[in-house]
Structure 1
Amino acid sequence: MLDTVQRFCRRTGLSVPTTVYGSNDEQVLQIMELLNEEGEDLLTRGDWQRLTFEALHTTVATESQGTIDSIATNGFDHIKSSTFWDRTENLPILSIDGDAWQTIKGFTTTTPRYEVRIRGGELLATPVPTAGNTWAFEYISKNWILDTDGTTYKQYFTADTDDILFPDRVVLKGLTWRWKREKGFDYAEDFNSYEALVKEALGADGMRRVLDQGRPENEASPRIVINQGNWPL
Structure 2
Amino acid sequence: MSRTVLEIVRSAAPAIGLERPGVLFGSTSRTEIELQRAVIEAADMVLRAHDWRKLMKISTSTGDGSETEFALPSDFLRMPKDADVWSSRTQSPLSRISPEDWLQMDVGIGDFSYGAWTLFGGNMVFRPALSTGETARYWYVSKEVVQGTDGARKERFSDDDDLFVLDDRVLELALIYQWRKDKGLDYAEEMQAADAALSREVESDKGARIVTQRSSRLPATKVAYPGVITP
TM-score normalized with structure 1 length: 0.82
Give the secondary-structure state (helix, strand or coil) at the position aligned to 1:24.
Answer: coil
Once the two structures are superposed, what CA deviation does each residue of 1:110-166 show, in whole Å capped at 9, x if it has no partner? Answer: 32432111222222211222111122111111221111222x211122211111122
1:26-74, CA deviations, whole angstroms, 9 ceiling, x for partnerless residues? Answer: 2111111011111222222121112211112211222523322xxx24x
Equivalence map 1:15-30=2 (5 Å): 15-30=19-34
CA deviation string 1:63-110 (max 9, x = no partner): 523322xxx24x111222323101343010223221121123333653
Map of 1:43 onto structure 2: 47
Instruction: Name structure 1 gaps, 5 residues minimum.
Output: 211-220
Q: Considering only aligned residues, what root-mean-square deviation do their CA atoms show, in Å?
A: 2.5
Alignment of 1:193-212 (within 5 A): 193-205=193-205, 207-208=208-209
Inter-partner Cα distance in structure 1 for 2:23 and 2:175: 18
- TM-score of the superposed pair, with normalisation by structure 2: 0.82
State the AA in 1 paired with 2:180.
K
* Residue equivalent to 2:146: 145
Shift in Å at residue 227 of structure 1? 5.5
> Partners of 1:122 and 1:185 in 2: how far apart?
42
Matched, 1:226 2:223: no
Indicate the SS of the match to 1:54.
Answer: strand
Question: Contact (CA 8 Å) 1:110, 1:127: kept in 2 or not?
Answer: no
* Cα 1:114/1:15, change in 2 over 3 Å: same
Q: How many residues align?
A: 216
Q: Which runs of 5 or more residues in structure 2 are unaligned?
A: 225-231
Alpha-carbon distance in 1 for matches of 2:172, 2:160: 16
CA distance in 2, matches of 1:191, 1:118: 34
Which structure 1 residue ranges, 4+ long, deviate > 6 Å from structure 2?
Answer: none
* Contact 2:114–2:223, Cα closer than 8 Å, also in 1: no
The residue that corresponds to 1:67 in the other structure is: 71
C-alpha displacement at 1:229, in angstroms? 7.1
